[in-house]
Amino acid sequence: MTTLRLGDIAPDFTQDSTAGPVRFYEWAGDAWVVLFSHPADFTPVCTTELGKTAALATEFAKRNVKPIAVSVDPLKSHSEWVLDINQTQNTTVNFPILADADQKVARLYDMIHPNASTTATVRSVFIIDPKKVIRTTFTYPASTGRNFDEILRVIDSLQLTDSHKVATPANWKDGDDVVIVPSLQDPAEIAERFPKGHTVVRPYLRVTPQPNR
C-alpha cells in the first residue's frame, strides 16, 4: 500500500453510496473535493461531523467544493444512520456517504491504520483540487472531531494562493493581510499585482492586503 502525499494524484474509484454509485472522477467533475472518513456508523462524533458538513452546504458550494464521506459500514446501515443524523443535527444530509464495506476506498487512500484499529478508518481528510491533485491531508484519532472552520480556512487559502503570488500567515482567515511570496522580486510586477501597496517588514517578509478583496 502506498501512502498518499501532497501533490499526488488522488486515486479514482467506483463505490456505492447513499446517493447511488459514485464514479469518483466523474462525480467530482471540475470541483474541489473534501473526502473524509469515519470509523463507523451510529457513532456520536461522526454524527455531529456529518451534520456540520450538511449545515455548511452553502459555504462549500460558494467555494466550488463537493464533500463526500466514507465509512466501512454497508449501505443499509448508512441509510438508517442518515435518518438519525438529520433528526439529531436538525439538518439534511445532501452529499454522498460511500458504503465501503469491502474497504476498497479506505485502503486505496490508506485510511486504516492497524495500530489504531485493524478494521475502522481513522478520521482522514483529503482536500483535492479540480485537477485531482491532493493538496492537503489531515489525520485525527477516532475520539477527536474535526474542525470544519479549519477545513474551510485551508480551502480559502489554497484557492487564494493558487490565483495570486501570495502565501497566508499564521492564523490567517479570509480578509486578513497576506504575504508576498519570496520568489516575486520584480518591483514593477509587485506594484501591478498589489496596487493597494505593501509593507516590507524584512526583505523576505512583505505584507499586503488580500488581493482579491
Which residues are catalytically annotated? 46
Q: What H or E segment, with its residue span, contains residue 137?
A: strand 134-140
What cell numbers appear for 160 in the block? 487564494
What cell numbers appear for 9 in the block? 494524484
Query: Is the four-CA dihedral 114, 147, 45, 23 of positive or negative sign?
Result: negative
Q: SS3 for 53-94, per residue?
A: HHHCHHHHHHCCEEEEEEECCCHHHHHHHHHHHHHHHCCCCC
